[in-house]
A and B are shown apart, each in its own frame.
Chain A
Amino acid sequence: MKLHNATDRIEKEIVLRAPRSRVWRALANAEEFGAWFGMKLEGTFAPGGRVHGQITLPGHGQVTIEMAIEQMDPESRMSYRWHPYAVESSVDYSSEPTTLVEFQLEEVAEGTRLTVVESGFDRIPLARRAEALRMNDAGWAEELENIARHVAS
């Protein structure tokens, strides 16, 4: 299904000049994951467990994140589910569908090849997806304002 794939999943591949053990630590350690992703996470990643945190990237406001860990296969695979859109604190999202994020590590000559697949977007209400875009636009506008204020002062 061409269209289905066009709106349902994202696939990324990157070669990192670092050993597999190093890349795995950056994924499997919640604190390290948060450091590069831009989140402040509390807890430890373990299959079946949940880790909560806040987005720390500029322009996101107060966004709460909940990751439901599925698979932790050392130096090879990690997967979790989450709500991929901006979250309003007033709305209970617990009954809504989540997307599945899967990381896969592979040793290559240059270091480590990392593949990321996020899938399940088509199950998320279109209205919710449209709303996330609007909120993102608002986030950017807010950030530009902050920059303008910073430059002007």
Chain B
Amino acid sequence: MSLHSAGWREVSRAAPVFAALGDETRLALVAQLSSEGPLSITRLTAGSAVTRQAITKHLSVLATAGLVSDVWRGRERIWELEPEQMKAARTYLEHVSKRWDEALDRLKKFVEE
């Protein structure tokens, strides 16, 4: 396949997302932001064996992938999930899930006939 084909461009563009979700620490950060909402770097580092500096680095990888973003609140930098990205992922799964429900209904009729 040519390196310049549309498929390859998609893969290159999505590469940060692959990398972002492929790391246990980053996955844990995304999970924490998902269940607890926006958090400061202090809260994200608390209870973790990973240094604040390392966490910041992981967060910037997630930000490059478009999965999280940061805002300054007073003197604190707050990190949050990019809801649009996560919403798209969930809506997509709901859609695939519905398609399986429909397919299994057809299978039921097919084998019970």
Residue numbers of A with Cβ under 8 A of B are 1-4, 6-7, 10, 12, 14, 16-18, 22-23, 26, 32, 35-38, 84, 90-97, 114, 116, 118, 121-123, 125-130, 132-133, 136
Contacts and interface: CB of A to CB of B under 8 A. Distances in A.
Contacts of B95: 132-133, 136
Interface stretch (B25-33, B38-46, B50-58, B70-78): B25-33
Contact of A127 (B8, B14, B31, B111): B14
Given A6-B93, A95-B8, 15 more contacts: A1-B28, A4-B30, A6-B34, A10-B100, A12-B97, A12-B101, A16-B112, A17-B112, A36-B109, A36-B110, A96-B11, A125-B10, A126-B17, A127-B10, A130-B92
Contact of A133 (B34, B35, B91, B104): B91
A128 B104 contact: no
B49 interface: no
